[in-house]
Chain A
Amino acid sequence: MADIAAQPFQAAEQDGPVLAADGRPLKASLARALRRQRLRAFMLVAPLLFFILITFAAPIADMLFRSVENQIVPDTLPRTVLALQTWNPDSGELPSEAVFEAMVADLKDAREAKTHTRVGQRLNYESPGISSLFRKSGRGVRRIEEGPYKEALIDVDDGWAEIDTWRTIAQFSGNYTDGYFLAALDMERTPEGEVTILPDEDRIYLFLFGRTFVLSIMITLSTLLLGYPVAYLLATLPLRTSNLLMILVLLPFWTSLLVRTSSWIVLLQQQGVINDFLVTLGLIADDNRLQLIFNQTGTVVAMTHILLPFMILPLFSVMKTIPPSYMRAAKSMGANDWTAFWRVYFPNTLPGIGAGAILVFILSIGYYITPELVGGTSGTFISNRIAYHISSSLNWGLAAALGVILLGSVLLLYWIYDRIVGIDNVKLG
């Protein structure tokens, strides 16, 4: 007994490191125990981690990588790309016979592998018309047996006699390109190689990014204004009543998104329920019905309704934890209702506001179906353009570039939020 009690004392007496019971240095022993603990924790989450990496993170990274990838041009036209290095795009002259010969050989190979039209599509994003140039030339090039190749290729399609065609190929011959990012920022590279901003009437993406952020902020604010009193009621009413109210909040949450969006169309359209009601009351004339949908109003109204539960639920769970005695204490010390609310209750709900606002804002920035259906032209988001480029125009490079910019700006906003409010102050319950 005395021996055991003496040991730590002795250890403290020593000059060397503190020892654990088994004689190893305490620091190492502790580190080992912690390491084992960490390993165990890691092993526990590993299946989920690998699942997310393989099915979520890796595909996203692969998709985002497409925003700079341009392998298809050097892969399909290797000889041409090499031969074009000696050509001066500013010379004002067509490339030499050797380049044409290389192009004919590349086109023949590409025709075999059926890749000539793909490279045509890629270059068509930069210069309209190249798509059919490659499609036609793929057919015609089979007939070219011998030189002079320049005349023969121009004979197949006179697009090859235009210097801009060659400039475009030379410009986008690298393994990587900034073309998609420039397009996503409403810029382009002229055939001379300078970066210029598109003329005013062709600009669209920056404008759409701006609109997406402004509308998302409006939606966040209106969910907060509408959701705060509801959450307060839910948190303060007796359990029976508040449970019933809670079901009313959750019921739309469980209803299909498309059903809720479509019902807003029924309500808000010009021959819809709300306009009919206002006309019956005589508030508006029959031939002067309000345009409430297929514009920004429609998007804000429908999305506010759809995202409302995401604001109410975090607010509710935070408000639930605020003891009613705080308000009573404030009032007993002479505060009126407003002061007690503003100085005591409201600051306590800030973590819930932060959580709800971040949830709603980030969800609405990436929202797609509702703006597509009720947004008309003035209420659509950048996500609608991304979806268009993924599923319709097949310009996945541009879609990826737009996605990178959207992701980057959300991360930036998140960082700013963390700096100003502090992410530790966010509470989901």
Chain B
Amino acid sequence: MKLRLTTVMAAAIGGSMAITAASATDLTIVSWGGAYSASQQKAYHDPFMAKNPGVQILNDESSAEAVAKLRAMNEAGNVTWDIVDVVASDAIRLCDEGLAMEINPDEWLAPAPDGTSAADDFGDLLVSECFIPQIVYSTTFGYRTDMVGDNPPTDICAVFDTATYPGKRSLEKRPINNMEWALICDGVAAKDVYDVLSTDEGVDRAFAKLDTIKDDVIWWSAGAETPQRLADGEVVMGSTYNGRLFSVIEEEKQPVAMLWDWQVFDLDGWIIPTGLPEEKMQVIKDYIFFATDTQRLADQAKYISYGPARQSSAPLVGQHAELGIDMGPHMPTDPNNAKNTLLYNYEWWADNRDDLDAKFQAWLAK
């Protein structure tokens, strides 16, 4: 009996090893989960696996803690992630820490269909040597259409106007974006915002403006909180990522509308961790080449309202796969939505984030 058991086990182990050898490669891709991962699954993962039957893509939903986890994995000498989806500011930090590989766009990425090189097609969006942009998203405001009367807000400064628009506001619990909006509504020209914010007086000025609505703010730290509060009627307006507002408005049909004024553009994309085994690199390169080409980036916009990071993808953006509505007008980059915009100032915040965040937290606690 004992002998037989051992034989069976040996056979099972041998068999499973044979299966592993045949099924070749697992690719662990880290992303944000929810609707965003679903859009990547449909636009990138499924077609890639159909094309490469030997590759199995495993999803990990750890992007929110990607920087800390990658650092810990790297220190332990055991990096188990192959491709990681992060926002641009995290990509810059990972690059600074030596945790992400430097990438030559023209070697790694497909050129546009008309032959434009990848570096030119992505253009200014290649904000770090380690970062492969995927989408442009924006942090912007949504408001309850049934709570603003006959006077729907069109101006970001409605956020600071509690007399015209009474009710709670939902703002992100960090200085980034809030400081910029406060200064713009305090009369600073958008191009001078960071010059002003670089001085102590400027910081005080931004806090003084935020002080005027401090009692009316509920702070959020997860992107799902504002849509939930808007749906509950808990807040009259709130900031969040534009894709989240899209799903509240178009998919859940809540009485919410977008306030695109002074939306802040940010980027999300891929990085490759350093220290991966050589034999994995070919599959990773294949995936990145495939998933960031012009058509694939445009495909993702069928499932979620984020703009593709390639210029050549923009004309290919079509209709939502299930709702059948045109996605163009819901893109943050649509000219009607992008009258006043800010681009996340990566370098300035990389320098000042720790300092201002301590000040911001101290201000919050007071």
Contacts and interface: CB of A to CB of B under 8 A. Distances in A.
A315 B168 CA distance: 42
A390 B64 CA distance: 12
B218 A125 contact: no
Contacts of A211: 365
Interface in B207-243: 218-219, 221, 232-234
A65 to B, nearest CB: 13
Contacts, number: 80
Most buried by B among A115, A202, A377, A378: A377
Nearest to B215: A291
Interface stretch (A116-124, A239-247, A336-344, A404-412): A116-124
Contact of A132 (B67, B98, B173, B350): B350
A297 interface: no
B96 A131 contact: yes
A294 B65 CA distance: 24
Given A128-B351, A128-B354, A271 B233 contact: yes
B218 A393 contact: no
Interface in B350-366: 350-355, 357-359, 361-366
A377 B352 CA distance: 22
B364 A117 contact: no
A117 B96 contact: yes
A121 B96 contact: yes
B354 A118 contact: no
B365 A377 contact: yes
Given A120-B96, A391-B68, A394-B67, A385 B361 contact: yes
Interface in A360-398: 372, 376-378, 385, 390-395
A294 B218 CA distance: 7
Nearest to B366: A201
A40 interface: no
Main secondary structure of the interface of B (DSSP, over half): helix
A311 to B, nearest CB: 29
B233 A393 contact: no
Contacts of A121: 93, 96-97
Contacts of A128: 351-352, 354-355
A198 to B, nearest CB: 9
B351 A132 contact: yes
B354 A201 contact: no
Interface in B155-213: 168, 173
Contacts of B97: 117-118, 121, 394
A395 B219 contact: no
Interface string A232-256: 0000000000000000000000000
Contacts of B65: 391
B234 A271 contact: yes
Give the interface size class of chain B: 20 to 34
Nearest to A183: B358
Nearest to B71: A394
B359 A114 contact: no
B95 interface: yes
B98 A377 contact: no
Contacts of B221: 372
B347 interface: yes
A208 interface: yes
A168 interface: no
A177 interface: no
A201 B71 contact: no
Given A204-B365, A391-B67, A129 B359 contact: no
B281 to A, nearest CB: 18
B71 A271 contact: no
B233 to A, nearest CB: 5
B359 to A, nearest CB: 6
Interface of A: 114-115, 117-118, 120-121, 124-125, 128-132, 135, 201-204, 207-208, 211, 269-271, 294, 372, 376-378, 385, 390-395
20 contacts: A115-B98, A117-B97, A117-B98, A118-B96, A118-B97, A121-B96, A128-B352, A128-B355, A129-B352, A132-B347, A135-B350, A204-B358, A208-B365, A269-B232, A270-B234, A372-B221, A376-B218, A377-B219, A391-B64, A392-B68
Given A117-B98, A271-B234, A394-B97, 15 more contacts: A114-B98, A121-B93, A124-B351, A128-B351, A128-B355, A135-B96, A201-B363, A204-B362, A294-B219, A372-B221, A378-B365, A391-B64, A391-B65, A393-B354, A395-B354
Q: Sorted from nearest, which 8 A-B pairs have the closest CB atoms?
A: A117-B96, A128-B355, A204-B362, A391-B68, A114-B98, A377-B364, A132-B351, A391-B65
